[in-house]
Amino acid sequence: MRTNLTLQQLEAFVEVARTANFRAAAQALHVSQPALSRTIKVIEDVIDARLFDRDTRHVALTAAGRELLPIAMRILDDFNSSFSELSQFLEGRSGHVTIAALPSTGVALLPEVIAAYRAHSPQVQFSLLEGPAERVRAAVDEGRADFGLSVRPGSHEPMQYRHLFDDPFVLLCRRDDPLAERSSVSWSVFASRPFIASGFNSSIRPITDAAFVQKGLHVVPALEYPSVAASGALVAAGLGITALPRLALHLIRNDALATVPLQRPTLSRPIGLITRIGRSLPPVSLAFIKLLQSSAAAS
């Protein structure tokens, strides 16, 4: 048998059963007593059974009413529980966030912000994807990531970019190198020392190449490194010096190395949030982005 009862009708029935009083139930439900009586009559007509035995002084469940009561309560509890889950999702307190990030930004920015977010919403799950800028953009474009943390995408790409901060470049050398004693160095230093360059698919290479063009320098790399961690190892081995954005230093842990600010020119790598134009993000991702923006502004 299929019955077409509404949640409002079931709620009315449960309230009358709870109070055993139509007047008290009507007050609790903020309806008139005649309207409540009509609602109960509709339920009885639908199931073709009387729910309450009543006289001027007493209201008692019938056998059909006693059978319906736990069913109605279970339906209402399931609905309230499900709606609570939906509310948590819409408020950004549940769900899943997938972030694609450059290795340096992922290590430097995300752990603390994720920890702060999960402190008030521990049920939120996170997945992290890591790679060079082109892989970050591809993950966002293909929907494998909700958003990315990377450099500004090209104007031809269907991406929205929201700037977070500029990541300044520094020189990386051995701690016993005379350059380590300087307060700053010019990019021209790479014309006279072996330069260890990033690979062409890195977000670092276009900026270092642009710096050499701006200075009118012809710099031929002595080596190319496949990862920032590898660059630190190569410098520590005395094979040359390199230029890195400051965030990339989070990927290098070596007491034998030192950094010096690079000037003339002072260059930075722009870091921001990238999302695909036309794609709606889930509430939890929007809430996390807001916290990430606040954290970046405060640092």
pLDDT in tens, 157-181: 889 999 999 999 999 999 999 999 9
For 62-102, what is each residue's pLDDT tens digit? 999 999 999 999 988 888 877 767 676 777 778 899 999 99
- How far apart CA 46 and CA 279 sit, in angstroms, is 45
Rounded Cα distance between 208 and 201, Å, is 13
The contacts of residue 209 (CB under 8 Å, 6+ apart) are: none
Query: What CATH homologous superfamily does 96-163+270-298 map to?
Result: Periplasmic binding protein-like II (3.40.190.10)
Judging by DSSP bridges, how do beta strands 185-186 and 257-263 pair with one another?
Answer: parallel
Decide if pLDDT at 271 tops 80: yes
Topology match between the domains 96-163+270-298 and 168-267 = yes
Q: Which helix or strand (DSSP H or E) is residue 266 part of?
A: none
Rounded mean pLDDT of 131-148? 95
Asked whether residue 156 carries a pLDDT value surpassing 70, the answer given is: yes
pLDDT at 180: 96
pLDDT in tens, 187-229: 999 999 999 999 988 889 999 999 999 999 999 999 999 999 9
Asked if 100 contacts 109 with a C-beta cutoff of 8 angstroms, the reply is no
For the entire predicted model, the pTM comes to 0.72
Average pLDDT over residues 97-124: 93
**How far is Cα of residue 145 from the mean position of the Cα atoms in its chain?**
9
Please determine, for residue 244, whether its predicted confidence score (pLDDT) is greater than 90: yes
Q: What is the pLDDT of residue 2?
A: 53
C-alpha dihedral (85, 91, 94, 96), degrees to nearest 10: 130
Confidence at residue 293, expressed as pLDDT on a 0 to 100 scale:
94
Confidence class of residue 250 from pLDDT cuts 50, 70 and 90? very high
Can you give the pLDDT at residue 34? 93
Written as six digits, the tokens of 291 are 């916290």
Q: Quick one: pLDDT band at residue 22, thresholds 50, 70, 90?
A: very high
Q: In angstroms, what CA-CA distances link 293 with 296, 297, 299? A: 5, 6, 10
Query: Which among 237, 201, 205, 210 has a CA at the least distance from the CA of 221?
Result: 205
pLDDT tens for each residue of 280-298: 999 899 999 999 999 988 8
The answer to whether the beta carbons of residues 285 and 273 sit under 8 Å apart is: no
Cα 81–chain centre separation: 25
Domain boundaries, the chain: 7-90, 96-163+270-298, 168-267
Q: What is the pLDDT of residue 3?
A: 61
Residues 225, 233: Cα–Cα separation, whole Å:
10
CB atoms within 10 A of CB 213: 11
The helix-helix angle for 33-47 and 22-29 (nearest 10°) equals 100
Angle, helix 283-298 to helix 63-90, in steps of 10 degrees: 40
The CATH fold assigned to 168-267 is D-Maltodextrin-Binding Protein; domain 2 (3.40.190)
Mean pLDDT across 254-279: 93
Average pLDDT, the chain: 91
Please say whether the structural domain 7-90 has been given the CATH code 1.10.1040.10.
no
pLDDT of residue 50: 93
What is the pLDDT, as a whole number, of residue 78? Answer: 84
| Strand ranges inside the chain, DSSP E | 52-54, 59-61, 96-101, 125-130, 147-150, 159-174, 185-186, 196-198, 223-225, 242-245, 257-263, 268-276
Q: How many CB atoms lie within 10 A of CB 172?
A: 29
If you search the block for the tokens 């999302």, which residue do you land on?
275
Residue given tokens 């040359």 in the structure block:
240
Rounded Cα distance, 249 and 105, in Å: 10
